[in-house]
Amino acid sequence: MRFLPRLLHTGAGATILLFLYLIWLQHDHLGHSIHEAWEGSAHRVVNFGDDWSDTGRYRVSPPPKVNAVTRDPARGDIWTEVLCKELGCDFIDNFARSLPPQAAAASFGSLVDSDIHVQAFPDEDNSTFQTLFDFKTQVHQFLDYEKQKYRVGVPQRLRQVDAWSVFTVSVGLWDLVEYATLETELALEAIDKSIEGLFENLNLLARHVATPMKVVVPKLVDVTFLPRFQSMKDTNKEHFAEDQHQLVFLWTYWNSALFRTASKWQNGEIYMPNPNNLILDQVRAKQLYSANTSDAFGAGKQVPLFDYVTEPCSKSMEADSANILQAAGVARCSKHLFWDDLHLSGPAHQLIGRAAASLLRGNHTVNAGDLAQGSDSDKKASEQATAGFTLKYPPGY
């Protein structure tokens, strides 16, 4: 008879432990999704990319603490977080990755496909680079995550299909920086392969997610406008103009090839905000206001959003072969266009996130016509869009 009370006590203890475990589990990466499924959440942003979209919270394989990027609260939200708030989503499934702050100077961030980088630099010992998860890897991580996230803890009858998912893909910055060091023909070939690889992975996503698939793919920002590149003006005077010329040409080529391929894509809806135009508008507004003048559209009449359009809120300095951020001494980072020499400030990210949300609300896709037609000829054009795209060389090439 004493066995029964002991059994009851043991069962009660096990129940309490299981309850505490489930509470802890909901704060874990996989457990977080289980918790969301129980609550019936059905609106999300799925984020792929590099430093410009990484929220710092990871669904799978979080980086070691030594390689993790610590977000300063003064920096504000990333544009993907702004997009989520604007759309009223429940959560962000983040698979984007940032370059570790202690990374060596030769390191680079997330690419579209690291295999393309290996092909582009056959004589380079790529094993020495601690490459981050490229877009291709991130997509496979997401697909594996989707298969696993509901296997534990949620009965089938309670599983809810997402009412909507918006996918964001912010890649190309590091690809462009890397391939700009190649001869022009080789750089263009690597860019063509990268654009092709980007849409091959979008096709893979489209085969496994609910339709219609909505994807936000921002155009690239002119890399030469970033403070990191501009800082080379004094240290690399001999080749600065040549490097700038090459980067601007390749940046134009990338965005043109991206837009052309996206406009022919038929497996979902592509929304393409242009961060570079948003940045240039703010720079122009600051310049006009400082000159006490305005243009025909009224730019320059109002107090500009940014007081500092070239100087970042944080400056970088070399120390022990690592990039260490040092405060610039300016209290109000919100008045800076750039947070550091590579990233935009929070208010600048607000502009991008709101622009992306506006495109989604208005259903302003770049491929609406081809989605409506859906003909075989258009499908062939989609497959050949990158290969058939050409951009004339500027003088001197």
* 321, containing H or E segment: none
Contact 93, 47 (CB under 8 A): yes
- Judged by average pLDDT, the poorest of 72-76, 147-151, 267-271, 351-355 is 147-151
In angstroms, the CA 347 to CA 307 distance is: 12
Comparing 292 with 54, the larger pLDDT belongs to: 54
387: three-class secondary structure by DSSP = coil
In angstroms, the CA 23 to CA 19 distance is: 6
**What residue type is 263 in one-letter code?**
S
* Residue 147 scores a pLDDT above 70: yes
375: three-class secondary structure by DSSP = coil
Residue 317's pLDDT is what?
40
Contact 276, 222 (CB under 8 A): yes
Residue 156's pLDDT is what?
54
Residue whose C-alpha is closest to residue 112's, from 29, 220, 214, 212? 220
CA 193, 197, 199, 200: dihedral to nearest 10 degrees? 130
Contact 53, 78 (CB under 8 A): yes
**Per this entry, what is the length of the chain?**
397
* Residue 42 scores a pLDDT above 80: no
Residue 131's pLDDT is what?
61
- Judged by average pLDDT, the poorest of 130-134, 165-169, 310-314 is 130-134
Residue 389 has which token pair? 């795209």
Contacts 24+ apart (CB under 8 A), 192-196: 192/257, 192/386, 192/387, 192/389, 193/113, 193/116, 193/119, 194/111, 194/112, 194/113, 194/116, 195/112, 195/254, 195/257, 195/258, 195/261, 195/386, 196/261, 196/386, 196/387
Residue 100's pLDDT is what?
76
175-183 average pLDDT score: 95
Residue 233 has which token pair? 């003006």
203-212 average pLDDT score: 90
* 44, containing H or E segment: strand 43-49
Contact 58, 29 (CB under 8 A): yes
Q: What percent of the chain has pLDDT over 70?
A: 70
Selection from 227-231, 291-295, 393-397 with the highest mean pLDDT:
227-231
Q: What is the DSSP code string of 139-186? A: HHHHHHHHHHTTSSS--GGG----SEEEEEEE--HHHHHHHTTS-HHH
Residues 6+ apart with CB under 8 A from 13: none
pLDDT digit string, tens, across residues 81-101: 999 999 999 999 999 998 876
Which DSSP letter does residue 31 get? H
Comparing 36 with 289, the larger pLDDT belongs to: 289
Residue 23's pLDDT is what?
45
* Residue 153 scores a pLDDT above 60: no
Q: What percent of the chain has pLDDT over 90?
A: 47
Residue 286's pLDDT is what?
84
Contact 296, 273 (CB under 8 A): no
Residue 388's pLDDT is what?
44
Contact 68, 56 (CB under 8 A): yes
294: three-class secondary structure by DSSP = coil
* Residue 385 scores a pLDDT above 90: no
pTM for the full model?
0.80
Residue 103's pLDDT is what?
60
- Judged by average pLDDT, the poorest of 151-160, 220-229, 318-327 is 318-327
- Judged by average pLDDT, the poorest of 81-90, 237-246, 249-258 is 237-246
pLDDT digit string, tens, across residues 52-66: 999 999 988 888 887
In angstroms, the CA 35 to CA 154 distance is: 9
**What residue type is 222 in one-letter code?**
D
Residue 339 has which token pair? 């947070």
Selection from 23-27, 90-94, 99-103, 379-383 with the highest mean pLDDT:
90-94
At residue 116 the predicted structure's pLDDT band, cuts being 50, 70 and 90, is very high
Average pLDDT, the chain: 79
In angstroms, the CA 109 to CA 370 distance is: 33
In angstroms, the CA 349 to CA 330 distance is: 19
* Residue 394 scores a pLDDT above 60: no
Greatest distance between any 2 Cα atoms in the chain: 96
284-290 average pLDDT score: 84
At residue 287 the predicted structure's pLDDT band, cuts being 50, 70 and 90, is confident
Residue 37's pLDDT is what?
44
Residue 322's pLDDT is what?
42
Residue 300's pLDDT is what?
67
- Judged by average pLDDT, the poorest of 93-97, 159-163, 194-198 is 159-163
264-283 average pLDDT score: 95
